Amino acid sequence: MISVKAYAKINLGLRIFDRRIDGYHNLETVFVRVNPFDEIILEEDNGISFSSNELNLNSDPSNLCIKAAKLFNEHYNLNNGVKIKLQKNIPIGAGMGGGSSDAAATLLGLIKLWDLKITEAELKSITLKLGSDVPYFLKPGMAHATGRGEILEYFSLPLPYWIVILYPDIHVSTSWAYQSLNAEHSHHISHPTSHITLKDFLLKNIHNSHELNHNLVNDFEPVVLHQHKQIGFAKLMLYSEGASFAQMSGSGSAVYGFFLEEQKAVRAAERLKTKYKVFITPPNFDPE
């Protein structure tokens, strides 16, 4: 039996560019691991089965954990079985990468459970069949992502903030968010900082909340916040509690705020948990 933790992520900035021939969009973002995490338990079994405390996932045929196990079987021409148990803590449809993280954790766990020999390149090509964000979760740390999110450069940037994440219990569909962007042609926005990469921008300005607030943008925010006023309200709540910077993660609906003082972050989390699902991540967080 193997147990694996699958941590959530947030995006520090998200720039969406042109649509590619394969239907995906070129984008640029920086991924960072945060609390909470899902837990996956894998046990040898005859067939492939899945169960979760999140009942909606049990009957979902497009379940990424099951897909991950099947892809390994196909790739290696195996007929291995596994019982997958998922303790889900990361909200679904929150822009926190829960499904992608679960898929990557399942693959990494199965490599151990089934004692598979696999190259990094092979593993990456399998993960890309599961989703654009999945490769990021194969390694720890922060990463600058380009292409459709699969071209990754891991780098070190100490984050001096307490991060408070609010989930307003709204499920935002990523495909809807992209369609809305396409309809508005707003991915042709000129970015004030696009002459430098997000990685370089953050390395230079992570302590400068004025720069973060003016130039670190998430292109999904205008369309998603327009459609879901509650998400914009959650973002405002973080600022009103003393956040130095706040932004929506991915295509939403989770929003996060950077707090310099632990006391303010803890107080914000306390005050807002009656209205939202709240997660708090300490500075320079490095999940085990």
Query: For 62-99, what is each residue's pLDDT tens digit?
Result: 789 999 999 999 999 999 999 999 999 999 889 999 99
Q: What is the CATH number of the domain that holds 95?
A: 3.30.230.10
151 lies in the same domain as 204 = no
Are both 273 and 135 inside the same structural domain?
Answer: no
CA nearest neighbour of 52 among 100, 7, 102: 102
Write the DSSP symbol of residue 137.
G
Are 126 and 168 in the same domain?
no
Using CA atoms, how far apart are residues 28 and 31, in angstroms rounded to an integer?
A: 10
Least confident of 43-47, 146-150, 265-269: 146-150
Structural domain of 241 = 162-281
Same domain as 145, residue 193: no
Q: In which band, very low, low, confident or very high, does the pLDDT at 1 lie, cut at 50, 70 and 90?
A: very high
* Mean pLDDT, rounded, for 178-199: 69
Average pLDDT rounded to a whole number, residues 9-17: 94
CA quadruple 228, 61, 68, 138: dihedral, nearest 10: 10
Task: Give residue 185's pLDDT.
Answer: 56
Query: What pLDDT is recorded for position 178?
Result: 86
Is there a domain that residue 287 lies in?
no
The reply to whether 124 and 211 lie within a common domain is no
| pLDDT class of 213 with cuts at 50, 70, 90 | very high
Of 105, 139, 155, the position where a domain reaches its end is 155
* pLDDT at res. 262: 97
Query: Using a CB cutoff of 8 Å and minimum separation of 24, what contacts does 192-201 make?
Result: 194/15, 197/28, 197/144, 198/12, 198/13, 198/15, 198/28, 198/29, 198/30, 198/144, 199/30, 199/144, 199/153, 199/155, 201/13
Asked if residue 108 has pLDDT above 80, the reply is yes
Q: Are residues 58 and 176 in the same domain?
A: no
The total domain count for the chain is 2
**What is the rounded average pLDDT for all residues in the chain?**
91
Model confidence pLDDT, tens digit, residues 174-184: 888 888 887 76
Q: Is residue 11 part of a domain?
A: yes
Count of CB atoms situated within 10 Å of the CB of 80: 17
Residue at a domain's end among 155, 185, 210? 155
Same domain, 150 and 168: no
Q: Convert the pLDDT of each residue in 218-229 to its tens digit.
A: 999 999 999 999
Same domain for 104 and 211, yes or no, is: no
Where residue 210 sits, what CATH number does that domain have? 3.30.70.890
Q: Which residues lie closer than 8 Å to 119 by C-beta, 6 or more apart?
A: none
* Domain co-membership, 114 together with 224: no
- pLDDT the model gives residue 53: 93
Average pLDDT of the segment spanning 18-28: 81
Task: Give pLDDT, residue 23.
Answer: 75
Q: Could you list the active site residues?
A: 9, 133
Looking at the fold, whether 21 and 142 belong to one and the same domain comes out as: yes
Q: From 135, 155, 175, give the residue that closes a domain.
A: 155
Q: Are residues 124 and 167 in the same domain?
A: no
Report yes or no on 224 lying in a domain: yes
